[in-house]
Structure 1
Amino acid sequence: MSESTHTARAAGAPTPVLSIGPVTLPTPDRAVDLQVRVSAPVTGDELPIILLSHGHGPSNNLSSLNGYAPLVNHWAADGFVVIQPTHLSSRTLSLDPADPEAPLYWRSRAEDMKRVLDRLDEIEAAVPQLSGRLDRGRVAVAGHSMGAHTASLLLGMRLTDPLDGTEADLAEPRIRAGVLLAGPGRGGDALSDIAAANYPFFLNPDFSTMTTPALVVAGDKDLSPHLTVLGPEWHTDPYHLSPGPKSLLTVFGAEHGLGGVSGYDVAETTDENPARVAAVAGLTAAYLRSRLRPGDPAWQTACDALAAGPDPIGRVESKAA
């Protein structure tokens, strides 16, 4: 188990962040044991929790508990405990490609998050620095790309299981809010032929049941021709096709990496922009603070600052329940 202390900037002075991983949760009913990374501010109590689901990019390690440091460090410095599992889709595991759920393991990913919530006692025992500091009543989920699909399921989106034709309902009532970063949109004729043939679980998402509050983050230059015949607007579907309360942050000039959220200086980021990443991290943290603690003005303050800026990184729109 490795332990490191980062310095990440929250509001005001830099805040030291403790990150510990892997924390291994024995999981006999899974292909391999579930491993997670836990990051938290060094000080503070009653800390809300963010479950972070990684994407499925070409790198070997970003799609695991070792990715997404630009977001994790910021969120932890802002007072959250961030828990990152390594899903079975991770290249670090190199599992049997003949598995019926391979390569993306859409159902297993959501089940991983439920396991984390079921086993917070074990995680807290494995990380003594967290003892008594978790606010288990304030839980959010966040995910990037395929991770946003995972988050959508936990927030209430349903789909047709291509293996047996049944409706999959993996909504998690313990999760009170979510952030979807560059997530997939509607299925049907919006999908590319490749996506329809290889990822049939994308064919019939139903966002009308995704009732948990969420912030959808989409880049206005995020073209994903391997998944959809539509343009960047496809990634805004989780906002437009779901009931409120929801907010949509459209990030100007951003492609699928949203400036580089999956890691520092990664070659696969096509739109590297540290200022963009910092803005996305700050706005998402503000959204979750206000959603998990009603009355906290962080989100409204952040939106006002965004709208008043001379060169905004994006725009926000919202709809009520």
Structure 2
Amino acid sequence: MHTTLFALTLTVFLAACSEPVLPPATPLRADPGQFVHIPYLQQGELKVLTERNLLLPANAEQRELELSIFYPEQNGRYPLVLFSHGNWSSKDKYDTVIKFWVSHGYVVVAPNHLDCCSRVSGIVNSMRYGNFGLIENRVKDLRYLLDNFDQLEQVLPALKDKTNLQQIAVAGHSFGAFSAQQFGGAGTLNGEDNSYHYYKEPRVKAIVALSPPGPMFDEITEQSWQQLATPTFNSTGSWDIDNYFFPQWQLHKMAFDSAQPGHNYLLVTQGADHYLGNLICRPEREATPQHDALTMLNASSTAFLAAYLKQDDRAKQFLQSGQLQQLTAGFSSLEFR
């Protein structure tokens, strides 16, 4: 094993174990009467159906993909959201967010990536493929889903006539947030040819990046987001820090600050950490669940999806109004650039 890769693996291991001392956070103490002005604050009316551990067969260039698919029971053609999990996490640890979206009328397909499911698996595959290889394979996984959606309908016949493939978003958390951003134009530096590689996908109309990374390893740099132009929703919080990679939560907003302006959003919530306590990514974590932060994330991200996949003008006006900070008495804010 190369010394550099060993050092990176050790750093990732230490980062996963780090628990920083967190500053005081402002709780949600807003007047509940103000919440009626926040669109998509409540669970939607559609019944959510879930099929887990489905398999999309391999072909000559792509490995078999293990999937979970979430979709409304009611008839209709719904926008498609592909979801990319965080490093060492899995497709089945984000139900609190995914099912909320689906209840408002979306089909969500979530694959397991090579780095999924455990620390051991993640480290073994990082040694096998390297950081750039893991990043590139994630893109291949998601593009394979886009290119072979007809096969998904064979795997799960209930999807037939259920999905509108003219309205597609890619979403993700942490490492998966960067995977999503790549479909909007974010670039990855390849150390072998010392150039940035881009994977922008014109079929994708919106990006949802939950707690995206700042500069990380040698492949994700300060320049990685300069060509990100697809409408993007980013989120982070004042506790979204760790002792190794991101000692300041503001590093998670670098994508928002450096991407192309025009349709770029940032949700910041007081006291929200990388896992919303234990509500996403690491439900086994011994931490207090951050339900108020989840409520703000679900409402704001759903408003964004509605604005850019369903042309909901009221949702877009809310996103761009800056009202959320006032309505929540400073608990959450929405920036637009």
Query: What is the TM-score of this pair, normalised by structure 2?
Result: 0.79
The root-mean-square deviation of aligned C-alpha atoms, in Å, is 2.6
Q: In the alignment, what sits opposite 1:239?
A: 256
C-alpha spacing 1:304/1:159, structure 2 compared with 1 (3 Å)? closer
Larger RCO (CA under 8 A, 6+ residues apart): 2
* 1:174-206 Cα shifts (integer Å, max 9, x gaps): 111111111112x3xxxxxxx5xxx32124642
Q: In the alignment, what sits opposite 1:217?
A: 235
Q: In the alignment, what sits opposite 2:12?
A: none
Q: In the alignment, what sits opposite 2:77?
A: 46
State the identity %. Answer: 24
Q: Which residues of 2 match residues 162-241 of structure 1 at below 5 A?
A: 162-185=191-214, 187=215, 199-203=217-221, 205-228=223-246, 230-241=247-258
Tell me if structure 1 keeps the 8 A contact 2:69–2:109.
yes
Q: Which residues of 2 match residues 134-173 of structure 1 at below 5 A?
A: 134-173=163-202
Unaligned runs of 5+ in 1: 1-8, 58-62, 188-194
C-alpha spacing 1:241/1:310, structure 2 compared with 1 (3 Å)? closer
Q: Distance in 2 between matches of 1:295 and 1:15?
A: 18
C-alpha spacing 1:64/1:252, structure 2 compared with 1 (3 Å)? same
Q: Distance in 1 between matches of 2:63 and 2:153?
A: 21
Q: Distance in 1 between matches of 2:74 and 2:51?
A: 15
The offset of 1:171, in angstroms, is 1.1
**Greater helix share, 1 or 2?**
2
Equivalent position to 2:306, from 262, 278, 289: 289
Q: In the alignment, what sits opposite 1:192?
A: none
Unaligned runs of 5+ in 2: 1-39
Q: In the alignment, what sits opposite 1:56?
A: 87
Q: Distance in 2 between matches of 1:248 and 1:75?
A: 18
Tell me if structure 1 keeps the 8 A contact 2:184–2:200.
yes
Q: In the alignment, what sits opposite 2:5?
A: none
Tell me if structure 2 keeps the 8 A contact 1:56–1:104.
no
1:83 aligns to 2:146 (yes or no): no
Equivalent position to 2:269, from 246, 251, 269: 251
The offset of 1:117, in angstroms, is 0.4
The offset of 1:301, in angstroms, is 4.2
Tell me if structure 2 keeps the 8 A contact 1:36–1:85.
yes
Q: In the alignment, what sits opposite 2:36?
A: none
Q: Distance in 2 between matches of 1:314 and 1:10?
A: 13
Query: What is the TM-score of this pair, normalised by structure 1?
Result: 0.82
Q: Distance in 2 between matches of 1:202 and 1:97?
A: 15
What SS class does the counterpart of residue 176 from structure 1 fall into?
A: strand
